[in-house]
């Protein structure tokens, strides 16, 4: 499906926001060829999105329409502050979104981590900066607009309310018609 046809079909859908609170409950290339579920790919990647958090049902439901499309995707937070190391979500998203023109991008505050781990994108960008820096967010929004907007934005960054609100205000206009904006780990809003 060409870009113009893809955007035309998305205009028929309403934009929506998906807010995820943390829910507690008791061969990567070969994986996408088998069309494994989002949960299977998340486990294979080693992301906490299916271990500490149980997001598999929600993500599978909301992201399925873009699985084999030329999605324009952005996640805030590459995981440089995680014990298991950065890039687990990158591995997940590059396995899940199968279209060769899918754009997977990240915003990461720790530039030295990005360099140290030599993070490379299949087809996207690693932006370095704070999710509270409106100049950085405007640059990210402009790049999103140049590709027709972001179909999916996931905020799994710093988790403070100020960071989430600032990012949402700046990036929401860059979400394509019919796109979704996910904010993970909202439980942190209630931490002292």
Smallest CA-to-CA distance from 145 within 122, 176, 166, 101 is with: 176
Distance, C-alpha 78 to centroid of its chain: 9
Write out the H or E segment, with its range, that includes residue 130: none
d(CA 68, CA 113): 30
SS3 assignment, position 98: coil
Find the catalytic residue in 35, 68, 117, 159.
Answer: 159
Residue 136, CB-side half-sphere exposure with 13 Å CA sphere: 17
| 99 catalytically annotated | no
Q: How many whole angstroms separate alpha carbon 4 and alpha carbon 146?
A: 13
Collapsing DSSP states into helix, strand and coil, what is residue 90? helix
* Cβ proximity of 77 and 106 under 8 Å: yes
Among 7, 50, 59, 46, CA closest to 25:
50
Residues assigned a catalytic role: 159
């Amino acid at each position: 499906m060409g870009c113009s046809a893809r955007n035309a079909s998305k205009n028929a859908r309403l934009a929506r926001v998906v807010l995820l609170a943390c829910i507690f409950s008791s061969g990567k290339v070969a994986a996408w060829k088998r069309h494994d579920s989002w949960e299977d790919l998340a486990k294979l990647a080693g992301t906490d999105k299916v271990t500490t958090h149980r997001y598999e049902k929600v993500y599978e439901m909301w992201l399925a329409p873009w699985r084999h499309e030329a999605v324009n995707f952005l996640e805030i937070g590459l995981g440089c502050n995680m014990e298991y190391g950065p890039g687990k979500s990158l591995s997940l998203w590059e396995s899940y979104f199968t279209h060769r023109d899918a754009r997977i991008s990240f915003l990461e505050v720790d530039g030295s981590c990005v360099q140290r781990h030599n993070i490379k994108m299949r087809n996207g960008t690693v932006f370095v900066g704070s999710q509270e820096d409106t100049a950085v967010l405007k640059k990210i929004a402009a790049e999103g607009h140049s590709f027709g907007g972001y179909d999916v934005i996931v905020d799994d960054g710093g988790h403070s309310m100020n960071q989430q609100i600032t990012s949402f205000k700046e990036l929401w206009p860059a979400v394509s018609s019919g796109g979704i904006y996910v904010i993970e780990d909202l439980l942190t809003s209630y931490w002292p």
